[in-house]
Structure 1
Amino acid sequence: MAERVLGGRYTVQDRIGTGGMAIVYRGLDEVLGRTVAIKTMLPQYAADPSFAARFKQEAQAAAALQSPYIVSVYDWGKDGDTYYIVMEYLRGTDLKSGIRKHGALDSKKVAQIGSQIAQALSVAHRHDIIHRDIKPQNIMVQPDGNIKVMDFGIARAKNSHLTTDNSVLGTAHYVSPEQTQGKELGPTTDIYSLGIVMYEAATGRVPFDGDDAISVALKQVNEQPVPPTAVNPAVDSALESIILKCMQKDPKDRFQTADELYHVLRDYLAGRLAAVNNATEVLPANPVVPAIAPIGATSTQSLPRIDTAEHIKPQTATQKAQQEADAAMKKHKRRVALFSIIGVIALIATIVGVYSLVNPSNQKREVPNYLSMTEADALKAIDESEFFKKGSVKEQYSSTVEKGVVMDQDPDSGRMVAKGTKINLVISKGKEPAASVKVPGLTGMSPSQADKALAKVGLVGQAGDSVYDENVAVGMIAKQSPAGGSEAKAGDTITYQLSKGKESVDVPSVVGQDANSATSALKDAGFEVSVSYGDSDTVQKGYVYDQSPTGSADKGTTVTIYVSNGAKTVSVPNVVGSTADDAKGALDAEGFKYNLTYQYSSSVAQGTVISQSATSAKSGATITLVISNGPDPATSGNNTGGATTTNTGTTKDPTAGGQ
């Protein structure tokens, strides 16, 4: 199926696993561009309507389960002859591989894993879904240490009968006694399997093992487990009591709900040992093994207490050989007894079958499968059969079967019944309307606080993208949707966004811009602006010559810009009456330039400053000085000034050397 596209959207890539009725591939969602896991039904089952109906139910049931500890189902459909389910792609390793690699886990880690599995089962059980195959291979440990429960491939709703009977579908090492015996299953069967998972995680081995599935199943029914502390002394006694209560043979003696188990494990992790001890019953310290008995028997006999190595007496070769011979004989007798039972059942079935053939009045037929048919079609099929009769028709709510469709039948399909048997149907009323609840306000809460507040009113929390919010501490909830105080339906998901604190952004550089342009640029970037004025010898009046801060800053920060008033005005030295050389020296010392103009004067000595153009000016300005040339020769004796000459930036007397 390499590079096949399902539903015009999901590209199938490499195979990552194979189950009892499906193959799982890694794939790509071309619309969202994300990696997904794609489960496709094996070809030999796709053409079977009952398997197809079960596959569809699995998708619908799993899609309804929203939990951080359950693998998410995104989509499902049919493409040609291929049924497929699109799921969350998980990275990590399954718990079984982890135990094989690392051995027994720390008691706290076992309790943490058990707590998360219990939370996942609690969600499933609230939807009337029994997983039926809880085992370490179906528990994915993610890189962050949290788990996801996978594979609802043999899970089913409590009222569904898509399998032909209650036969053992789970792995023998983890199935409950009632599952082995084909009895009605409930939430406590998953709790038993979870107890075995915790037992294996705590000790590194399963509590019951054997040469084949039958021998293991017999032990599940008849034998008590060796206490975990006898296998691994490091197991905490409080955790041991929790595990053994989960593994009680009678479902009534176990924790009755996954939620109850979760709270006990939570109390254990929190160190509230009194609460744990009050909620559990510890099995006898000594394990017991059964006498040879068929499945369902409960008689047991005590084993002697396990001695320490220093009290075990060495065996002789003859004793050892005799012991092995006795064990082989017991095993042989058990097999003979089991096969004898099977032979008797087969003989009875043959006799009944022959009797049915020779006696037409006792002929029976197999009950058809009316599940997933509409009510009208199912009743019509019963009428047209002329073998069965209509029975009662009831209605029930269902979260997995659409309205108007048969969700249950009695007798079950596949059973052999006599002519005239009434077929009772249960028709789906669709999903039960959820109760309206008020959404709590989550602003300022931590995610764990928010999840608890939402769970109290039957809502589910989900973290969205984080946002910047200067008024909420980093890591706390800043926004939510729907808003607090609004109405929602029980089971709805409330999305919340965590605060990233103030947002830091680059501060635009506005030096050299005019004041208005600089202010607009900073405000557009999310900053407040403060304007300060100052003198500048280098920047034109009205333009920014400096700013603070620069680089990056939190949005909303005030940025100060310094706007030029032009060059600074200072006092000009009074050089009137000084010689030209002294005047130039004085102006140079203060940073002024000068422009010399010469004029005849009969009252001011030659080379002396008659006047200057300013007594104050901007730094670096040019000051004009009028220098006396002495009396005008053309008007000797006349005090009236004569012609003038100008010499800019020089002290040279225009008459020097000419007289």
Structure 2
Amino acid sequence: MIGRVFNGRYRITERIGIGGMAEVYKAQDQTLGRIVAVKVMLPQYAADPEFAARFKQEAASAANLQSPYIVNVYDWGHDDGTYFIVMEYVRGTDLKSAILQRGAINQRKVAEIGSQVCQALSVAHNQDIIHRDVKPQNIMVQPDGNVKVMDFGIARAKNSVKSQTSSVLGTAHYISPEQAQGKELTGASDMYSLGCVLYEAATGQLPFDGPDAVSVAMKQVQEEPLPPSQVKPDISPDLEAIILKAMDKNPYNRFQTARDMKQALDDFLMGRPVNIAGAAGGFASAPTSVMGSVPGMASEAGGTAVMQPIGSDAGMKTNSYRGGNDIDMGKAKSKKRGPLIAVAAIAAIAVIAALAFAITGGLGGGDKVPNVIGQTQEAAVQTIEKAGYTVGTVTEDYDAETVAGRVCKQDPEADSDLEKGGKINIVISKGVKKGSIPNLSGMTSEQAEKALKDAGLKAQYAGNEASDADKDTV
């Protein structure tokens, strides 16, 4: 492929990478004299009309999306049996590679990335285009720290007349529950996938994993993720709340628009109170059943999968394996239902045992007071009552360490022994006392930190912004 010229214009110079359905090359645009990226469909898919149509759809979808956070598409074509898309060449690395190299990313950087991706998705959603494959592999981090979203290969306009198929396209580790079940998607589905991305970026760990794509997709439908703070204890309660809201199983309880999620992330970045009030909705997940594992399938976070919707069928099996990343899963044969019923029965017994364990207090340990520090008053009340306690006195006090409107103290303290029904008193922060914040304008970071320390406050870096002030001053 190196040295080949597409449509007499784009000369391939080197391969950048390979995905589930295509390879990406660096190329020279001999007409305009610029470096571009050329995405070339893999030969095994070029003869498939549906894949060819999807490839063309990607070009058409992305070409109409104008945003500094979306990779530009310049051209599309067909040359000697090969379909290709010409795109903006983005210097940098994809977010997945960054996570694999560094582990958990700085929380503020995670929020900044999330805010920029929300901005990109907002542009797409405003044109009724759902991305459907938001994942860290599709988020390029440039040298200046800004991101670009790419790969609208399985995006679909909500009013698209393209015929639906019985297959579900997506990446199991980031797919929304309704997408795994083959249901109609909205922008909230992309919000769920972005929540999974931010979870992984903030903790260095996938929210759900398993031995194969089916088991991971089942977890997306059935299981709640482990709270990020239990993976990385120093994560901010606000950022955790944003991530978990985005990953709510009920799409009506998530952020309803990318703009809403961006606002919450921006509030977090600016140190403002984060509003994550849930929206009411009557969505109920379709019933699911126990599924057998897919034999011979290795788990690979990031592979775009082609699978049957997860519904009421007893199980699934692998029908074909395409290129290592694309999976086509059909119904399991009826002769496998016996073992699956046994598995279901065992699972039911395990659930009953777990409930009995919870009701009787486990191994005899005392009842522990929940930790509500950092939560809003509303969330704290819900946490306390859900744990079987009642809310005692609610008072307010100034606290420079806690954002206004959040719980800064509780009595008894978290993890204390307290009988069910007991009262827990909480103190809500009024923030920093007015008049105690020094004027930092014009100071260097060192001077500002000292001034804040002398005032009994803590400095928190809030990023850079162009202004008329001298460089490197507040």
Indicate whether the TM-score tops 0.5: yes
Relative to structure 1, the CA distance from residue 292 to residue 39 in structure 2 (aligned partners, 3 Å threshold; closer, same or farther) is closer
Aligned to 1:153: 153
1:338 aligns with 2:338: no
Deviates more, 1:126-135 or 1:50-59: 50-59
CA contact (8 A) 2:119 2:259 kept: yes
Give the CA deviation at 1:2. Answer: 2.1
User: What's the secondary structure of 1:196's corresponding residue?
Assistant: helix
Shift of 1:128: 1.5
Aligned equivalents of 1:343, 1:194: Cα separation in 2:
35
2:428 is aligned to none
**1:185 matches 2:185:** yes
The alpha-carbon deviation at position 280 of structure 1 amounts to 5.3
Equivalences for residues 157-556 of structure 1 within 5 A: 157-160=157-160, 162=162, 164-165=164-165, 167-273=167-273, 276-279=274-277, 293-294=289-290, 338=315, 342-344=332-334
C-alpha contact (below 8 Å) 1:241/1:280 kept by paired residues: no
Query: 1:154 and 1:292, CA in 2 relative to 1: closer, same or farther beyond 3 A?
Result: closer
- Counterpart contact for 1:132–1:170, Cα < 8 Å: yes
Tell me: CA distance 1:268–1:280, structure 2 relative to 1, closer, same or farther (3 Å): farther
Letter in 2 for 1:115: S
Distance 2:217 2:261 in 1: 25
CA distance in 2, matches of 1:69, 1:42: 27
CA displacement 1:232-273 (0-9 Å, x = unmatched):
111100111110000000111101111111111112211111
Contact 1:10–1:28, Cα closer than 8 Å, also in 2: yes
* CA distances 1:503-552 after superposition (whole Å, capped 9, x unpaired): xxxxxxxxxxxxxxxxxxxxxxxxxxxxxxxxxxxxxxxxxxxxxxxxxx
Deviation at 1:476, TM superposition (A): 8.8
State whether residues 242 and 280 of structure 1, in contact with CA within 8 Å, keep that contact through their aligned partners in structure 2: no
Higher strand share: 1
Q: What letter is aligned with 2:61?
A: A
Aligned to 1:61: 61
1-structure distance, mates of 2:83, 2:144? 32
- What is residue 371 of structure 1 aligned with on the other side? none
- Matching of residues 594-633 of structure 1 within 5 Å: none
Measured in 2, the distance between the counterparts of 1:82 and 1:239 equals 44
| 3-state SS of paired residue (2:52) | helix
Cα-to-partner distance string for 1:382-409 (whole Å, 9 max, x where unaligned)? xxxxxxxxxxxxxxxxxxxxxxxxxxxx
Q: Find the structure with the greater CA-based Rg.
A: 1
* Highest RCO, 1 vs 2 (Cα 8 Å, sep ≥ 6): 2
Kept in 2, the 8 Å contact 1:54–1:162? The answer is no
Q: Which runs of 5+ in 2 are unaligned?
A: 280-286, 292-312, 318-330, 338-465, 469-474
> Shift of the alpha carbon at 1:42?
2.1
Residue matched to 1:86: 86
Change (3 A) 1:211 1:346: closer
CA drift at 1:166? 5.7
Is the CA contact (8 Å cut-off) linking 2:242 and 2:276 kept in structure 1?
Answer: no
Amino acid at match of 2:110: V
Residues 195 and 246, structure 1, Cα contact 8 Å, conserved in 2:
yes
Task: Report whether the alignment pairs 1:75 with 2:87.
Answer: no
TM-score, structure 1 normalization:
0.43
1: CA distance, partners of 2:82 / 2:4: 11
Contact 1:264 1:279 in 2 (8 A): no
**How far apart in 2 are the matches of 1:12 and 1:75?**
15
Going from structure 1 to structure 2, the CA distance change for 1:38 and 1:5 (only over 3 Å counts) comes to same
Question: Displacement, 1:345?
Answer: 9.9
Structure 2 vs 1, CA of residues 36 and 214 (structure 1 numbering), >3 Å: closer, same or farther? same
Do the aligned partners of 1:61 and 1:129 also contact (CA within 8 Å) in 2?
A: yes
Q: Distance in 1 between matches of 2:56 and 2:335?
A: 35
SS of 2:116's partner is helix
2:451 is aligned to none
Distance 1:214 1:167, change over 3 A: same
Q: CA deviation at 1:87?
A: 0.4
Q: CA separation of 1:292/1:59 partners in 2, compared to 1, >3 Å: closer, same or farther? A: closer
- In structure 2, relative to structure 1, the CA distance for the partners of 1:253 and 1:12 (3 Å cut) is same
Superposed displacement of residue 162, structure 1: 4.3
Cα offset for 1:156?
Answer: 1.8
Q: In structure 2, what is the Cα distance between the partners aligned to 1:278 and 1:211? A: 34
Task: Give, as a single letter, the amino acid of the residue that structure 2 aligns with 1:247.
Answer: M
3-state DSSP of counterpart to 2:40: strand
8 Å contact kept, 1:191–1:255? yes
Q: Which SS does the other structure have where 1:13 is aligned? A: strand
**Bigger mean CA deviation after superposition, 222-231 or 2-11:** 2-11
Q: What SS does structure 2 have at the residue aligned with 1:205?
A: coil
- The 8 Å contact of residues 131 and 154 in structure 1, kept in 2 or not, is answered as yes
How far apart, in 2, do the equivalents of 1:246 and 1:278 lie? 10
8 Å CA contact retained: 1:53, 1:162: no
* Distance (whole Å) between structure 2 residues aligned to residue 235 and residue 84 of structure 1: 42
In 2 relative to 1, CA 164–337 (structure 1 residues): closer, same or farther, beyond 3 Å?
closer
Q: Is the 8 A contact 1:133 1:170 kept in 2?
A: yes
**What do residues 421-458 of structure 1 show as CA deviations (whole Å, max 9, x unaligned)?**
xxxxxxxxxxxxxxxxxxxxxxxxxxxxxxxxxxxxxx
Give the deviation of 1:122 after TM superposition. Answer: 0.6
| Structure 2 CA distance for aligned equivalents of residues 257 and 163 of structure 1 | 26
SS at match of 2:78: strand
- Judged with a 3 Å threshold, the aligned counterparts in structure 2 of structure 1 residues 476 and 211 are, in CA distance, closer, same or farther, namely closer
Question: Pairwise mapping of residues 552-567 of structure 1 onto structure 2 (< 5 A)?
Answer: none
**CA distance 1:256–1:292, change in 2 (3 Å):** closer
Q: Secondary structure at the match of 2:90?
A: coil
8 A contact 2:192–2:246 mirrored in 1: yes
* Deviation digits for residues 356-393 of structure 1 (CA, Å, limit 9, x no counterpart): xxxxxxxxxxxxxxxxxxxxxxxxxxxxxxxxxxxxxx
Aligned equivalents of 1:84, 1:49: Cα separation in 2: 14
Please give the TM-score of this superposition, normalised by the length of structure 2: 0.59
SS of residue paired to 2:193: helix
Amino acid at match of 1:264: A
Query: 2: distance between equivalents of 1:195 and 1:223?
Result: 15
Long gaps (5+) in structure 1 = 282-290, 296-335, 348-474, 478-659
Which letter does structure 1 place at the counterpart of 2:315?
L
Structure 2: distance between partners of 1:183 and 1:337: 18
SS of equivalent to 1:169: strand
- Counterpart of 1:156 in structure 2: which amino acid? R
Could you say if the C-alpha distance between residues 345 and 52 of structure 1 is closer, same or farther in structure 2, counting changes exceeding 3 Å? farther
